[in-house]
Structure 1
Amino acid sequence: MSDVARHAVSGQPAPPGIGERLRKDYFRSPQQALISILGLGFFAWILWTVANWAIFSAVFDGDASPEECRAASGACWTVIAQRWRIILFGLYPFEEQWRSALACVTVVAMVVLSCLPSSWTGKRLAAIWLIGTALFYVLMKGGLLGMPLIGEERWGGLALTLFIFVTTCLIGFPLSIVLALLRRSELPVISKGIGLFIDAVRSLPLLSILFAFAVVVPFMLPQWLQAGKLYRVIFGAALFFAAYQAEIIRGGMQGVATGQSEAAKSLGLGYWQRTSRILLPQAMRNALPATINQFVISFKETSLVIVVGFFEILASGNAAYGTGDWTFAYREVYAFIALIYFVFVFSLSRYGAYLERRMAVGEL
């Protein structure tokens, strides 16, 4: 039965059709109609300009010369066809780039497995992330199973971007839970001290933290405590992530009714049982939108490591067009890199929206 028939049987007025809604929302008055038409025309002009540059007037021939690309009025995707290895793998040795590609596939598979409802237990998620990260590291580093040893200074491209993002979240998320719980401590010394620490980290730009861990920390620690530059930068990024995520989780905890904790106490549940079974699950549910947003921000902020000397995907893109033959094709390279960021970030945001819908109907 159609919506119109159902409303006719029930005696309720039928909902307005698409044409009626468009007229009501965009063409209610002559002024509104004029603005709508001008806005639609402007949008169509932008869409046609981009499509004409990227598709209709573009050069797709992978063997085209730079001179042929310069003569074209559209985009030159030849630079991507000829330089995609530099963009995706950076300084990684050419003959070993299959390892970098397999490492990227490992990260994607790890994320996909984490998104499956059957994996939503603490032990399974921990196993997936620890095993996946270890496999990624072995593939990139080598030294086992006959794979040559490749130092972190030669890592680059998409694999390095994913490694920084994954390890930042792997270290930062558990640390954020600890910081959030300590800030809610009943001991004033602990709660105020942790609060001061979180506010101090949040008041600093991420760029200054990366510089501090990359350059300043080696002068403050003995040689045996100094890790590699990459790992110091990752720890600094994880600390920054944890400070922001701790406040997000604390906000989620404040949304949990205090009566639930008191009821759990009356049932004889200890602190860890109340926290792990009642407080944290509801806090994570309340904080889900902000948490997804924090993950998205952290993924995009991996591009900042370029300023401390790492060859992540943005630096690799700069090298791809940085030679004398392809300096004019920077727009195409940045468009390709933007597409890679869009695929990862859009997929993450859509998954977050799926989780919100799932939680809204009480299926979790």
Structure 2
Amino acid sequence: MLGLAHVGEEAWGGLALTLFIFVTTCLIGFPLAICLALLRRSELPWISRTTGLIIDGVRSLPLISILFTFAVVLPFALPQWLQGDKLYRVILGSALFFSAYQAEIVRGGMQGVATGQEEAAMALGMRYWQRVSRILLPQAMRNAMPATINQFVISFKETSLVIIVGFFEILASGNAAYGTGEWRFAYVEVYAFIAFIYFIFVFSLSRYGAFLERRMSVSER
């Protein structure tokens, strides 16, 4: 396109790959976390218990094992047309791990909402999805904001684990850079620069979370 060669997913790497994995993990995992939190609050025991079993099962596994399963083991159990690219399988595994932890954070925020809020909405004749979208979730997300920002920070730092399944994110690219003979002397500079990049992104996420907390606390008054 426009005279440029196509670059497949297997050739992606560096900071761009780190950001792509982080953003797509959060975009997929956050809505899934809300769904899991709502299912775990279901009044039907078989739905709430099954969802709780799924969440606790995923939370009991290390992220490395989930990434390895989705990248290496899963293709043996799926037909060829359903396997997809390894990068997207890894993102799905990371999103599942993110959603399991975030679901408990959202559920904790929901438990912090006074029961009278939802009862008053029911008394006004509001339907379930109206109660959830207009009453429950806005207050739950405000309660869960600090833990949510912390989970985003953890997910950004955990993108470095994809090196285990063969992807050259920013840390692996730095290792490859000073691994050449002419740059072997600069390993301190490489790691210092990578640490600075992580600090910039993590510190920015933390400050943005603090800004949201202040804004929401102002809106309460």
Q: Under TM normalisation by the shorter chain, which class is it? A: over 0.9
Q: Distance in 2 between matches of 1:271 and 1:363?
A: 24
Map 1:120-131 → 2, pairs under 5 A:
none
How far did residue 182 of structure 1 move? Answer: 0.2
Q: Identity of counterpart residues, as a percentage?
A: 81
How far did residue 148 of structure 1 move? Answer: 2.1
Q: Distance in 1 between matches of 2:206 and 2:171?
A: 22
1:317 equivalent to 2:183? Answer no
Q: Which residue of 2 aligns with 1:350?
A: 207
Q: Which residue of 2 aligns with 1:215?
A: 72
- 1:264-313, Cα deviation, whole Å (9 max, x unpaired): 00100000000000000000000000000000000000000011100110
How far did residue 362 of structure 1 move? Answer: 1.9
Q: Which residue of 2 aligns with 1:178?
A: 35
Q: Report the AA paired with residue 304 of structure 1.
A: L
Q: Report the AA paired with residue 333 of structure 1.
A: V
1:262 equivalent to 2:119? Answer yes
How many pairs were matched up? 221
How far did residue 328 of structure 1 move? Answer: 2.8
Q: Which residue of 2 aligns with 1:224?
A: 81
TM-score when normalising by structure 2 = 0.97
Q: Distance in 2 between matches of 1:158 and 1:218?
A: 27
How far did residue 357 of structure 1 move? Answer: 1.2
Structure exhibiting the larger radius of gyration computed from Cα positions: 1
Q: Report the AA paired with residue 34 of structure 2.
A: I
Q: Distance in 2 between matches of 1:323 and 1:330?
A: 11
Match among 297, 301, 315 for residue 154 of structure 2: 297
Q: Which residue of 2 aligns with 1:190?
A: 47
Q: Distance in 2 between matches of 1:363 and 1:148?
A: 52
Q: Which residue of 1 aligns with 2:108?
A: 251
How far did residue 323 of structure 1 move? Answer: 1.2
Q: Distance in 1 between matches of 2:72 and 2:116?
A: 49
Q: Report the AA paired with residue 292 of structure 1.
A: I
How far did residue 326 of structure 1 move? Answer: 2.3
Map 1:272-311 → 2, pairs under 5 A:
272-311=129-168
Considering Cα pairs closer than 8 Å and 6+ residues apart, tell me whether 1 or 2 has the greater RCO: 2
1:336 equivalent to 2:193? Answer yes
Q: Distance in 2 between matches of 1:204 and 1:145?
A: 45
Q: Distance in 2 between matches of 1:146 and 1:282?
A: 50
Q: Report the AA paired with residue 245 of structure 1.
A: Q
Unaligned runs of 5+ in 2: none
| SS of the residue 1:326 aligns to | helix
How far did residue 230 of structure 1 move? Answer: 0.3
1:147 equivalent to 2:147? Answer no
Q: Report the AA paired with residue 229 of structure 1.
A: K
How far did residue 172 of structure 1 move? Answer: 0.3
Q: Report the AA paired with residue 220 of structure 1.
A: A
Unaligned runs of 5+ in 1: 1-143
- 1:188-207, Cα deviation, whole Å (9 max, x unpaired): 00000000000000000000
Q: Report the AA paired with residue 24 of structure 2.
A: T
| SS of the residue 1:149 aligns to | coil
Q: Report the AA paired with residue 169 of structure 1.
A: C
Map 1:74-153 → 2, pairs under 5 A:
144-153=1-10
TM-score when normalising by structure 1 = 0.60
